[in-house]
Amino acid sequence: MKQEKHILSNLFPRVEGCDFHAEWVDEIKVNKSAVERRISSLNGRRTVKKQWQAAWLLKAISCIDLTTLSGDDTPGRVRRLCAKAKSPVRPDILKDLGFQDGQLTTGAICVYHEMVETAVDALKGSGIPVAAVSTGFPAGLAPLETRLAEIRASVAAGAEEIDIVISRRYVLTGNWKALYDEVKAYREACGDAHMKSILATGQLGSITKIAKASMVCMMAGADFIKTSTGMESVNATLPVSLVMIRMIREFYHKTGQKVGYKPAGGIGTAKLALQYLVLIKEELGNEWLTPNLFRFGASSLLGDIERQLEHFVTGRYSAANRHPMG
């Protein structure tokens, strides 16, 4: 299998964004039935099997933002999660896959601000960036200056990536310029850190509004657009992902700027992860199949992928407790 070296997040270019174009937003219309037909075609195909599936699953691991966002997070839990990020698959499994000399890590570790310094210290020398959720995550309803200060504090603590949440009210009321100005302010507060804009798609009311919010966030300079906080009643779905991915493609055609995509929430199985990878490959191409432009926001996904890889090399499924996360 081809062995790929993990690329540091700070080595890929920032998205500069552009001026606000109201006409770009106004012209967006989404055919929901066509979206559903396109997604249904994914389930009707023969999926990748055997060694090809194993290779795709290794690719998926490299694109995971391994996440812990619990009220009972402790420094010890975060350090254990960081250890898993540095060595996401048991060495004996990698050896049987012929990957023992490869440098396989997850794409990032994602934590609350309070745990950024702990994660940065635990990951020192690994090349794995720390992503911090910010701006009053998950609701985003703190005062604006508080949200901006939180971004700056996380960057100062060593976070290389900031996952911000947008104000849903601007989308629900169609106040697109206000959304643009808000995300632009977040972008400036991030400095050199990369910014992922969380849309909370399950709360935006319609698939067309999701598409418009995606375009506005990219105009404002989002390096990634992300579906969800993982804490809404509806999180990442394939139909929503298709719409957001096509907005990324449209923005690239308009500006030449490549924006990344991050589905988050509810992606817990290797089978579902493969569907997302296939969708990215078919809609955006192989260039987007790297940690620089695609991430999964997940906590349980890695465990299922590791179980599938062990099944590939042994023919048996192991208990989940043999693949601890932290």
| Structure tokens, 76 | 């010890």
- pLDDT on residue 102: 76
β-strands 260-262, 296-298 pairing: unpaired
Element (H, E) at 35: helix 32-43
Instruction: Decide: residue 23, CB within 10 A, 0-12 exposed, 13-18 middle, 19+ buried.
Output: exposed
- DSSP per-residue string spanning 129-185: PEEEE-SSTTTT-S-HHHHHHHHHHHHHTT-SEEEEE--HHHHHTT-HHHHHHHHHH
Domain ranges for the chain? 19-313
- pLDDT on residue 11: 53
* Tens digit of each residue's pLDDT (9 = 90 or more) over 302-321: 999 999 999 999 988 887 77
| Structure tokens, 60 | 């998926």
Residues 66, 299: Cα–Cα separation, whole Å:
6
Give the catalytic positions in this structure. 163, 226, 262
Q: Which residues in the chain come in under a pLDDT of 50?
A: 1-10
At the top level of CATH, the class of 19-313 is alpha beta
* Tens digit of each residue's pLDDT (9 = 90 or more) over 233-268: 999 999 999 999 999 999 999 999 999 999 999 999
- pLDDT on residue 99: 86
